[in-house]
Amino acid sequence: MSELRAEGIVKRFPVAGGELEILRGVNLELSAGESVGILGVSGSGKSTLLHIMGGLERPTAGRVLYERNDIYQLDGPALARHRNQDVGFVFQFHHLLPEFDAEENVMMPCLLAGWTKRRARERAQEMLQEVGLADRRQHGPGKLSGGERQRVAIARALALTPPVLLADEPTGNLDPYTSEQVEEILLRLNEEVGTALILVTHSEKLAGRLGKKCYLRGGRLES
């Protein structure tokens, strides 16, 4: 990956009597192996910015460039492939599929990318080993702790070794000990695999461990 770059991102939402502008010309650039923490008060637009940069939500104005291509100029299937193969998402709520076990959840991105079931299963087992859950691979989400579910979500997000990982309050619902475990996994994978990491958090301590720290204030991103 050469870079992921947001240029002049504006986002407005319709409200009674007009529009609410959440993002006002945000610029952000990230290259392979780099990491950035984004801080801001609740409702400041942190999650919205992350969704826009990941291809989940179109901006009102501005561009998101991945390898110099504007992702919002891609057609539907191409944008879906970009989201599946180039970007990994980890959210505050794990969004695991309850009817599938941990291994099957991690297999999903691989199957969507056209992998054989055998190859996808082998990759899922490898990733669950990476996050310390090899012995829990056949447990459904309902039989896993909150920290275990979040680690499964990380394994799923990284199953295709995406060049970009976007994490939205990934430890927001976890106790301090489990939060630290999840943080260590994210930071280690960023360093060892070279995945570019953008992490939205309320934690100054966690943001301070990343390569760069930014604040979203008044719709603008400040260092």
Q: Given this model, what pLDDT does residue 124 score?
A: 96
Statement: residue 8 has pLDDT above 80 = yes
Question: Which of these, 49, 97, 12, 73, lies nearest to 199 by C-alpha position?
Answer: 49
Instruction: Report how many domains make up the chain.
Output: 1
CB contact at 8 A, 2 and 30: no
Q: Is residue 61 part of a domain?
A: no
Q: Given this model, what pLDDT does residue 1 score?
A: 46
Q: Is residue 131 part of a domain?
A: yes
Task: Taking residues 69-79, report their average pLDDT.
Answer: 93
Q: Is residue 76 part of a domain?
A: no
Statement: residue 182 has pLDDT above 90 = no
Rounded Cα distance between 5 and 59, Å, is 14
Q: Are strands 35-39 and 196-200 parallel, antiparallel or unpaired?
A: parallel
Statement: residue 130 has pLDDT above 70 = yes
Give percent helix, percent strand, percent coil of the chain, each to the nearest 5: 40, 25, 35
Domain containing residue 121: CATH number:
3.40.50.300
Domain region containing 204: 33-55+81-222
Q: Given this model, what pLDDT does residue 2 score?
A: 52
Q: Is residue 99 part of a domain?
A: yes
Q: Is residue 10 part of a domain?
A: no
Task: Taking residues 208-213, report their average pLDDT.
Answer: 90
Q: Is residue 181 part of a domain?
A: yes
Q: Name the strands in the sheet holding 18-30, side by side, starting at the edge strand that comes first in the sequence.
A: 18-30, 4-15, 61-66, 69-70
Provide the whole-model pTM. 0.83
Q: Is residue 3 part of a domain?
A: no
